[in-house]
């Protein structure tokens, strides 16, 4: 939320970049966490298709469905109605045709209350981005490690280390900006390359594993909170250790139930 009390909009993203103010973005999948994150003044919430991994326990994001994204996005919007909200378009809901992309992005906006959608890819998706923007649907791009293309990329690896690939990614970023994207997520890029891309664009970049030169940063909420303890890439900083806190609370609950200590008189009705 802005200091004047009004909700943030996509116009604030460009203004934040122009003012040199870093953008803080976190993934979120439910209303309870959304309320907490809005109270913490997080700039942008992203309902990522990572929910298929984080909540569903799957290895990739590829099986996420449009209905799942809409359900979770609507919950997040109810929990944080004044926070800027973007939603990932899942695999094959926008790549097959521009018409599909318009229809599916429209459903997301109409049924969830989101302020925009995020999609993966560069120049090949520029026409789709332009079509969505022309129809009033804000679009955030995504370059570098694009999880929906994980098999084509040969796994979760840093992208753009080779000079030719780096030049391609810079061209992709310009194409997305020219097509009307309001921001671009840069994932798993060398810090110098991400910095160059960020400096070359008028729209903000939001990095994850792309170094400090981006205009903002995003992490998966459960990773940042220490709830996903099996995931520990180099770029991740855990700002809490809630995994151990949850285990300890569950142990204490179990012990009190088995020992007859809970519930007590103070937890019971006359």
* 172 plus 261 within the same structural domain: no
* 118 plus 247 within the same structural domain: no
Q: Of 120, 177, 187, 199, which residue is the catalytic one?
A: 187
Query: What's the whole-number average pLDDT of the chain?
Result: 96
* 229 plus 270 within the same structural domain: no
Contacts (Cβ under 8 Å, ≥6 apart) of 124: none
Residue 186 above 80 pLDDT?
A: yes
Q: Considering the domain boundaries, does residue 2 fall inside one? A: no
Q: Which residue, 71, 48, 253, 9, is CA-closest to 148?
A: 48
Rounded Cα–Cα distance for residues 38 and 152 (Å): 36
| DSSP H/E element including 26 | strand 23-27
Q: Among all chains, which residue has been given the structure tokens 């160059």?
A: 196
Q: Considering the domain boundaries, does residue 178 fall inside one? A: yes
In the chain, what percentage of residues exceed pLDDT 70?
97
pLDDT score recorded for residue 210 = 98
Number of domains the chain contains: 2
Residue 5 — pLDDT band, cuts 50, 70, 90?
low
Q: Considering the domain boundaries, does residue 3 fall inside one? A: no
* 157 plus 249 within the same structural domain: no
* 251 plus 154 within the same structural domain: no
Quick: pLDDT tens for 36-62. 999 999 999 999 999 999 999 999 999
Taking residues 200-223, report their average pLDDT: 98
What residues form DSSP beta bridges with 86? 46, 116
Q: Considering the domain boundaries, does residue 4 fall inside one? A: no
User: Are 49 and 148 spatial neighbours (Cβ–Cβ below 8 Å)?
Assistant: yes
User: Are 141 and 176 spatial neighbours (Cβ–Cβ below 8 Å)?
Assistant: yes
* 253 plus 125 within the same structural domain: no
Q: Considering the domain boundaries, does residue 249 fall inside one? A: yes
| DSSP H/E element including 23 | strand 23-27
* 151 plus 208 within the same structural domain: yes
Taking residues 108-134, report their average pLDDT: 98
* 250 plus 233 within the same structural domain: no
Taking residues 169-186, report their average pLDDT: 98
pLDDT score recorded for residue 85 = 98
Distance in angstroms between the alpha carbons of the first and the last residue of the chain:
44
User: Are 161 and 107 spatial neighbours (Cβ–Cβ below 8 Å)?
Assistant: no
Q: Considering the domain boundaries, does residue 1 fall inside one? A: no
pLDDT score recorded for residue 7 = 64
* 131 plus 66 within the same structural domain: yes
* 125 plus 100 within the same structural domain: yes
Residue 201 — pLDDT band, cuts 50, 70, 90?
very high
Residue 30 above 90 pLDDT?
A: yes
Positive or negative: CA dihedral 154, 155, 159, 161 = negative
- Per the rule left: phi > 0, alpha: psi between -120 and 50, beta: everything else, 96 is alpha
Residue 1 above 60 pLDDT?
A: no
Q: Which residue, 233, 49, 220, is CA-closest to 149?
A: 49
Cis amide leading into 263 (omega within 30): yes
Q: Considering the domain boundaries, does residue 195 fall inside one? A: yes
Is-above-0.75 flag for pTM? yes
Contacts (Cβ under 8 Å, ≥6 apart) of 143: 120, 121, 122, 169, 172, 173, 176, 184, 185, 186, 187, 189, 197
* 204 plus 256 within the same structural domain: no
Q: Which residue, 148, 179, 174, 143, is CA-closest to 160?
A: 143
Active site residue 187: yes
Q: Whole domain around residue 248: which residue ranges?
A: 242-270
Residue 6 — pLDDT band, cuts 50, 70, 90?
low
CATH of the domain at 55: 3.20.20.60
Q: Considering the domain boundaries, does residue 154 fall inside one? A: yes
* 103 plus 146 within the same structural domain: yes
């Amino acid at each position: 939320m802005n200091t004047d009390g009004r909700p943030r909009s996509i116009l604030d993203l460009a203004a934040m970049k122009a003012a040199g103010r870093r953008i803080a973005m976190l993934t979120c999948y439910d209303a309870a966490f959304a309320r907490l994150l809005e109270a913490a003044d997080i700039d942008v919430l992203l309902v990522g298709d990572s929910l298929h991994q984080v909540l569903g326990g799957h290895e990739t994001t590829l099986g996420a469905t449009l209905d799942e994204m809409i359900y979770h996005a609507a919950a997040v919007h109810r929990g944080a109605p004044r926070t800027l909200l973007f939603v990932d378009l899942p695999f094959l809901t926008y790549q097959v045709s521009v018409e599909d992309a318009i229809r599916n992005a429209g459903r997301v906006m109409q049924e969830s209350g989101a302020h925009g959608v995020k999609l993966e890819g560069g120049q090949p998706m520029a026409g789709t981005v332009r079509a969505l923007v022309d129809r009033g649907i804000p679009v955030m791009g995504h370059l570098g490690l694009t999880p929906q293309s994980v098999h084509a990329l040969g796994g979760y690896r840093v992208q753009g280390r080779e000079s030719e690939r780096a030049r391609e990614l810079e061209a992709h970023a310009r194409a997305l900006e020219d097509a009307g994207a309001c921001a671009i997520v840069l994932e798993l890029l060398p810090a110098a390359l991400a910095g160059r891309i960020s400096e070359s664009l008028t729209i903000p970049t939001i990095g994850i594993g792309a170094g400090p030169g981006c205009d903002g940063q995003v992490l998966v909420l459960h990773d940042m909170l220490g709830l996903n303890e099996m995931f520990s890439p180099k770029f991740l900083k855990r700002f809490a250790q809630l995994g151990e806190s949850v285990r300890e609370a569950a142990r204490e609950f179990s012990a009190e139930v088995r020992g007859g200590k809970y519930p007590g008189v103070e937890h019971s009705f006359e």
